[in-house]
Structure 1
Amino acid sequence: MKIDKTLIPLDLQYFANKVNFGLKNAHYALITVDEETGEETYGTPIKMPGSVELSLEPRGDMVEFYADDMLFYSAPNNQGYDGTLSIANIPDSFAVDVLGEEQDETDMVLTEKSNAKPGRFAFMFEFDGDVKATRHVLYNCSANRPTVSGSTKTDSVEPSPNELTFVASAREKDNAVKTKTLTTTPAGVYDAWYQSVYEKTPAA
């Protein structure tokens, strides 16, 4: 008999991933801001094929206060993450939407300008696991210009990936930095992860 893992309570850790490996399904969703209300909305996620490696380094040092010759108080200071994504190629749509490059519709070229106005975005991706892939979303990201590199061909051809650095911080409306799925996440939420940026559906 096949067990429906979505019906198993969260405290049963038997079905949790023991290890994570791999990286795939990178997507970005552009954030737009209503000029009148200031409300932020997410566009439809766009796939970024060719992900090679991703690292997320926590931002924010531990707050420590000393008194009475001892550590009197300490608390974490969550300032999001410094992210580095190694990717085969930066999609043209990402260069326009997020990095602010301009595409000439006649000559079909992309131009990087010093006065470009970058856009913010949500970043989505997944790590595979021994039970089920874990899907993530970082809600509020700003990207720096990617590195540009290349090398001469030798007796073996090895592609040179691009390196994209970005900062993922909390969004203003609810301080959410990142959300991820569990092995027990319902299929309706899990399967629709890349259709739109995940938002908790208000209770009826």
Structure 2
Amino acid sequence: MATIGLDRLYYAKITENENGEETYDTPVPLAKAISAELSVELAEATLYADDGAAEVVKEFQSGTLTLGVADIGVDAAEVLTGATLDDNKVLISTSEDGGAPVAIGFRAKKANGKYRYFWLYRVKFGIPATNLQTKGDSITFSTPTIEGTVMRRNKPDGQGKHPWKAEVSEDDPGVSPETITGWYTEVYEPVFAVGGGSE
């Protein structure tokens, strides 16, 4: 179903253990969302046998998340880009900056009024783009965009795989209300029954 809206943009800091496996801090609001564009790159291989394609493998390699936001506050800018506040509370960006990866959560309103919820488990952002324009005859809003690389997380799920995205629609059959109401209280962790089947 088509989506017609976007809101509740959150991020969660990541802490890695000695094996690089992630734990997530409590999610906090990032900014008022204007747009989110996610493009995905797949690693693809085709095995040919008997003059035709016998096997095709397509695996997630990485993705790009481009966020249009109303404003990125200094707290979020420090975490996402590695910029720092000086003693006068001025945000300073340097050539050596590099923010740590974070998890990004948001939701998109569907045409039926229900929402589709997302968590991207590991996103590393660059410096926000700033578009400025002089005031003319009409009002034009200039808002920042920030682009991040979406990666799989290091921590495996209950099936031994490395997820990069969690997605659910609140009106999907069998989705518990607790999954939706708890979406922003913590980064969603995949749940699998013992033996590998989904619950």
| TM-score, with structure 1 as normaliser | 0.82
Between the two proteins, what is the percent identity of the paired residues?
Answer: 27
Map 1:134-149; keep pairs closer than 5 Å. Answer: 134-149=116-131
Matched, 1:32 2:22: no
Q: Alpha-carbon deviation of 1:111?
A: 0.5
Matched, 1:179 2:161: no
Q: In structure 2, what residue type is equivalent to 1:178? A: K
- In 2, distance between residues paired with 1:69 and 1:201? 42
Q: Alpha-carbon deviation of 1:131?
A: 4.5
Secondary structure at 1:20's aligned position in 2?
coil
> Which structure 1 segments of 5+ residues have no match?
1-17
Q: Alpha-carbon deviation of 1:74?
A: 0.9
On the 8 A contact 2:122/2:150 being kept in 1, the answer is: yes
Q: Alpha-carbon deviation of 1:88?
A: 1.8
Alignment counterpart, residue 114 of structure 1, candidates 73, 90, 95: 95
Q: Which has the higher strand share?
A: 2
Alignment counterpart, residue 108 of structure 2, candidates 127, 131, 154: 127
Q: In structure 1, what residue type is equivalent to 2:180? A: Y
Secondary structure at 1:48's aligned position in 2?
strand
Q: Alpha-carbon deviation of 1:91?
A: 2.2
Choose 1 or 2 for highest CA Rg. 1
- In 2, distance between residues paired with 1:77 and 1:47? 31
Secondary structure at 2:77's aligned position in 1?
helix
Q: Alpha-carbon deviation of 1:145?
A: 1.2
Q: In structure 2, what residue type is equivalent to 1:49? A: A
State how many pairs are aligned: 185
| TM-score, with structure 2 as normaliser | 0.84
Give CA deviations for 1:89-108 in whole Å, capped at 9, x if unaligned: 2221121112111112x311
Secondary structure at 2:118's aligned position in 1?
strand
Matched, 1:94 2:76: yes
Matched, 1:190 2:180: yes
Q: Alpha-carbon deviation of 1:128?
A: 0.4
Q: Alpha-carbon deviation of 1:120?
A: 0.6
Aligned to 2:36: 54
- After superposition, the CA RMSD in angstroms is 2.0
> Which structure 2 segments of 5+ residues have no match?
157-161, 195-199
Q: In structure 1, what residue type is equivalent to 2:44? A: M
